[in-house]
Amino acid sequence: MAYRAQGAGYADVAEHYRARIKAGELTPGDVLPSVAEIREQFDVAAKTVSRALAVLKSEGLVTSRGAMGTVVAKNPIVITGADRLDRMAKGGERYGPGETSSGHKVMRRSVYDEEVCTALDLEPGDEAVIRIRVFRQDDKPTSVGVSIYPPHTVNAVPELGEDGRMVAQFDQLYQERTGRAVVKGQRTAHARQASQDELAALEIDAPAYSAVSVMVTTVTFHDDERPLGWWEDVYAPGTRVPLS
């Protein structure tokens, strides 16, 4: 069915294709419809289409390829773990083209980090399950994902404490087994100095005394009574990340 929105502007057109790229529905090298086709689809003027495409180009999402027209750029963005859940919910795809993960680790550890304890309503020293993995694009590390779950979440979804990759989304499993909806909190972003472990995971060769800045995003998941999990993504320098 053709997408039409009365009074659609360039921002609507740009968001339509931005969302499809983010969801993995349009992948690097895919050709966008022609200007004439987009005009027909959205019932907008050619100038509106041109402005929308210019916005996508400025964001590094698409590029011009002469006679081919406008195509999705190679490795345009790296999505966060939270966005990965949305992608799986919509299309069932965990990874985009050329995307893999490695270095999967699952451990039970006492938690002392103040931010994590506050987010998960834990006392310093309480035990939690920590899952770590490195996301890669064309075998190049792009981010380190860390997810931390308190005991009550692991009790409902024991797979979280088992070695190996999860075969289903934790939020879906939790809701199916408890009847409680899982809500994603506000995602925040900040910059900080990378740890040596993070530099090693991202395959960044830097002297131990040097300071390498990285961008970090965090988000907490809840049900209607308590927090269920805390996720952190640490991105390699230069990575482009969409933020809502």
Q: What is the pLDDT of residue 4?
A: 45
Q: What is the pLDDT of residue 19?
A: 85
Q: What is the pLDDT of residue 92?
A: 63
Vertex 25 angle, CA 234 and 189, to 5°: 25
The CA-atom distances, in angstroms, between 36 and each of 40, 42, 62, 69, 195 are: 6, 10, 18, 12, 50
Q: What is the pLDDT of residue 216?
A: 94
Q: What is the pLDDT of residue 96?
A: 73
Domains of the chain (ranges, CATH numbers): 10-72 (1.10.10.10), 81-235 (3.40.1410.10)
pTM for this structure?
0.75
Q: What is the pLDDT of residue 91?
A: 64
Q: How many CA atoms lie within 13 A of 33 on its CB side?
A: 18
Residue entry with tokens 């699952």: 106
Using CA atoms, how far apart are residues 110 and 105, in angstroms rounded to an integer? 16
Walking along the chain (244 residues) 10 residues at a time, the average pLDDT comes out as: 58 90 82 94 92 90 87 75 72 73 94 96 97 91 95 97 88 95 92 93 87 93 96 90 69
